[in-house]
């Protein structure tokens, strides 16, 4: 098939927010026009993905079968279900990039992208600090332009982003309350604005605790009852960022801005996220939360751009038609980095 007649890029994921976000972030950084294809995993193939059982081309519904029949030049997938989809597309003639460890020999994919705090290494494996995300200066500028009113809040503007306890990071309600007390004390001393955001992983009991502790003392977004999610605007407008230690995504997104980052109760971090927290703290990109929130010079992380650059070199060296799509893409970087809703 003529490479010029093939789709440049298809992005595959299972609908999970984290997987979708990472796959689209990398596609946007490559600046290749792409089509997003949410998968519809079916039994029995979804049970053992990315292992390829007989009849696997029927594993994800008709839209995926049609894509297999006319494979794109390049496919990017994230997560275990997408790993089967990208494996099948590679067999059909696409070049493929798989995000996150597929838990299978990497020979089934052209490139595999994993965080440094994962153990996977080998030929074709690309690593980065933290997780892929769309946050860079262009993205932040677009977020500020989309929500200019938040920039009128008095400074210093401090944003706390709360995730939720996990098996590897079992922080407590008491730890969160103590961290909020520190922020309230700093706010009383420094003035300015305090924003506090929960996430879909924040347990209901902790949301109630935050409302009781902060009602009338901070601007809160803890669920849809508080209106549209201001996450992108707060990330872009904040002068100081504070994150809980349970999420590689939270830390990676905060570290990709030009604001100093503090980690609340970092000693609770465990598992693979612990290595990322330690790396951020040891290199000076983040500091443990304390009463004094004095800023310091920081260099934003640009991990997604670094991975995209490495993939661009690989595509050019491989002679793939997708490399010409990179050069000739008419999609602007601004359009590719619109803040998510």
**What is residue 238's predicted lDDT score, i.e. its pLDDT?**
98
Q: Could you tell me how far CA 242 lies from the centroid of its own chain? A: 17
In whole angstroms, what is the distance from residue 125 CA to residue 110 CA?
A: 9
**Is it true that domain 137-288 has CATH number 3.10.20.30?**
no
Confidence of residue 2 (pLDDT cuts 50, 70, 90): low
Q: Tell whether pTM > 0.75.
A: yes
Q: Give me the mean pLDDT over the 140-151 stretch.
A: 98
Q: 3-134+303-336 and 137-288 share one CATH topology?
A: yes
In whole angstroms, what is the distance from residue 278 CA to residue 296 CA?
A: 18
Q: Looking at domain 3-134+303-336, which CATH architecture does it have?
A: 3-Layer(aba) Sandwich (3.40)
Could you tell me which residues come within 8 angstroms of residue 80 by beta carbon, excluding any fewer than 6 positions away? 14, 49, 50, 100, 102, 103
The domain spans of the chain are: 3-134+303-336, 137-288
Q: What are the tens digits of pLDDT across the range 298-316? A: 999 999 999 999 999 999 9
Residue 109 near residue 86, CB atoms below 8 Å: yes
């Amino acid at each position: 098939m003529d490479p010029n007649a093939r789709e440049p890029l298809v992005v595959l994921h299972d609908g999970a927010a984290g997987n979708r976000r990472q796959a689209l972030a990398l596609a946007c950084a490559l600046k290749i026009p792409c089509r997003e294809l949410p998968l519809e995993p079916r039994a029995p193939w979804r049970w053992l993905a990315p292992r390829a059982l007989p009849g696997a081309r029927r594993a994800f519904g008709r839209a995926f079968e049609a894509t297999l029949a006319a494979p794109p030049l390049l496919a990017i997938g994230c997560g275990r279900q997408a790993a089967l989809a990208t494996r099948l597309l590679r067999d059909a003639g696409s070049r493929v990039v798989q995000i996150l460890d597929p838990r299978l020999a990497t020979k089934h994919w052209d490139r595999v992208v994993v965080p440094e705090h994962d153990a996977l290494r080998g030929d074709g494996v690309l690593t980065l600090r933290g997780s892929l995300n769309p946050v860079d200066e262009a993205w932040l500028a677009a977020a500020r332009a989309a929500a200019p009113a938040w920039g009128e809040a008095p400074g210093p503007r401090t944003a706390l982003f709360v995730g939720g306890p996990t098996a590897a990071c079992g922080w407590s309600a008491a730890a969160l309350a103590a961290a909020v007390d520190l922020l309230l004390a700093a706010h009383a001393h420094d003035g300015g604005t305090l924003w506090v955001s929960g996430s879909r992983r924040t347990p209901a009991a902790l949301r109630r605790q935050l409302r009781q502790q902060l009602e009338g003392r901070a601007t809160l977004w803890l669920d849809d009852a508080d209106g549209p999610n201001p996450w992108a605007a707060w990330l872009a407008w904040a002068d100081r960022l504070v994150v809980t230690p349970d999420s590689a995504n939270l830390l990676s997104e905060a570290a990709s801005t030009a604001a100093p980052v503090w980690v609340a109760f970092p000693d609770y971090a465990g598992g693979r996220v612990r290595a990322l927290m330690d790396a951020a703290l040891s290199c000076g990109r983040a500091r443990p939360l304390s009463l004094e929130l004095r800023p310091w010079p920081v260099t934003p992380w640009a991990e997604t751009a670094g991975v995209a650059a490495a993939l661009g070199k690989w595509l050019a060296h491989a002679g793939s038609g997708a490399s010409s799509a990179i050069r000739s893409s008419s999609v602007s970087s601004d359009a590719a980095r619109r803040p998510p809703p």
